[in-house]
Amino acid sequence: MNVVFIGPPGAGKGTHATILSEKYSLVPLAAGDILRQHIRNKTELGRKAKDVIEKGELVSDDLVNSIIFHEIEAAFLQKKGVLLDGFPRTIGQAEALDKFLTGHRSALDAVLNFDTSEDMIIARLSGRRVCANCGANYHLRNPLLRPKKEGLCDKCGQPLTQRKDDQPETIRHRLETYQKETAPLIGYYRRKNILYDLHGDYDVNEFQDEIQTLFEKLKLTV
């Protein structure tokens, strides 16, 4: 199966993609994580993406499509489905994805819309800390998501930092970009009858239950 997570910045897409991909043996593909990896590795693509990301704007469709399609092909070679987090993010990307999947005799099974309030987004992003080394994601104030040792990653022990694009001014710009470029995808997928709305304000465990109930109802299996 192939699933897409859509939602504003800080809706919890990355957090829940990590939990679900383990349970369902899907390959998680987070566009933002892949781009940040390129920035860390100082690749040509990372050089092009860095300023754009730090300003809270979108990297061009061509660049993002090529890296994501390459990763989807690798997953399909292993006979696995994908969980796309943060891709597609424009109508152009969605149309290119449809064409790509049709060309690979595949399709999307479900698009989950994380319907999250602005207050919740600000609270989540202002408290988010990430591992600069492995990218693992934590929250300072949420007891379920706090690191075991303050300021250090549970997985690799490296220091946690705040993402540059989690500054209040950039968060506002990312939200505007989301409304302008990405929110139209909700109608796009609703018309295809594969869009499912979720209560993005729920806490982590309630939200996981909500997603799993939906997966069972839709009989989504690997």
Q: Which residues are catalytic?
A: 13, 89, 128, 163, 174
Phi, then psi, of 87 in degrees rounded to 5: -145, 135
* Residue 184-213 contact track with ligand AP5, rule CB under 6 A, x = bound: ------------------xxx--x------
Kindly write down the DSSP assignment for every residue of 136-196, as one continuous string: -EEESS-TTTS-SSTTB-TTT-PBEE--GGGSHHHHHHHHHHIIIIITHHHHHHHHTT-EE
CA 176 – CA 123 distance, rounded (Å): 17
Binding to ligand AP5 (CB under 6 A): which residues in 13-72? 13-15, 31-32, 35, 52-53, 56-59, 64
* Of 1, 4, 19, nearest in space to 207 by CA: 19
Our finding on whether 145 is near ligand AP5 (CB under 6 A) is: yes
CB of 1 or CB of 6, closer to ligand AP5: 6
User: Which residues would be at the binding site for ligand AP5 (CB under 6 A)?
Assistant: 7, 9-15, 31-32, 35, 52-53, 56-59, 64, 86-87, 89, 93, 124, 128, 137-139, 142, 145, 165, 174, 202-204, 207
